[in-house]
Amino acid sequence: MPYRSSDKTRQKKDSKRTSMMQAAVQVFAEKGYHAATVRDIVEIADVAVGTFYFYFPDKETLFTHLYDETADFLVQTLQQASVSRSLWPQQVQAIIQAYVNLAIFEPAIIQLLLIGGSGTPALATRRQRFRHQLTQLWQRPLTEALTNEQLPDQDSRLTAEAIVGAVDEVILKLLNLPEPELAADGTVLNLTRFVLRATGPFREKT
């Protein structure tokens, strides 16, 4: 009869894995990929080094897996914000508000995605995939507004790519402030105004 782990055993394993993933987010955000070590991660997660290697063959595997998970989480969060509104101006404000909220309450995740692992060849394709996802996220509502003739004619992909770059840069600058939460509302307001100016006057259909 094949061995089957009990629910309790599986929950314990899942708990250890989750602890290491959470610790890794913190360590990579604080030290960067290259300076972070497996020992740093296991000390914060309060597990043995051997436990780490039971789940992950090396630091790079953990980081790339973590990057994929956090990228998907961010994109899904912003996508939910986008679809909760029906008009372009409100969609812009909702996406930016959700992004700033994540930056304030989960700064390590944003640091990991935007600057973590810089210079790591294995991460290059994942970074491209993440940026492509963000571009598509902005391009969808922008294309809809263009199709409805609510915005001036423009290349929706190029505009979306420019928005992604600008928003990411501002979010990183926000996180570098001593008390970013104090600048959160102003950042949302100014970024929203910037994007709306960049895409041109919105004409609501009557």
Distance (Å, whole) CA 161 – CA 169:
13
Q: Specify the pLDDT at position 205.
A: 79
Distance (Å, whole) CA 169 – CA 64:
22
With the CA atoms of 169, 174, 175 and 178 taken in that order, what torsion angle do they form, in degrees rounded to the nearest 10? 150
Q: What is the CA 29 to chain-centroid distance, rounded?
A: 13
From residue 191, give the alpha-carbon distance in Å to each of 99, 118, 135, 170: 11, 25, 16, 8
Q: Model-level pTM?
A: 0.87
| CA-based torsion, 125, 126, 127, 132: positive or negative | positive
Q: Give the list of residues 6+ apart from residue 6 with CB closer than 8 angstroms, or none.
A: none
Q: Specify the pLDDT at position 3.
A: 42
Q: Specify the pLDDT at position 45.
A: 93
Domains of the chain, with CATH numbers? Answer: 7-56 (1.10.10.60), 59-199 (1.10.357.10)
Q: Specify the pLDDT at position 1.
A: 45
pLDDT by residue, tens only, the chain of 206 residues: 444 545 555 566 678 888 999 999 989 888 888 889 999 999 999 999 999 999 999 998 999 889 999 999 999 999 999 999 999 999 999 999 999 999 999 999 998 898 876 767 768 888 899 999 999 999 999 999 999 999 999 999 999 999 999 999 999 999 999 999 999 999 999 999 999 999 999 998 76
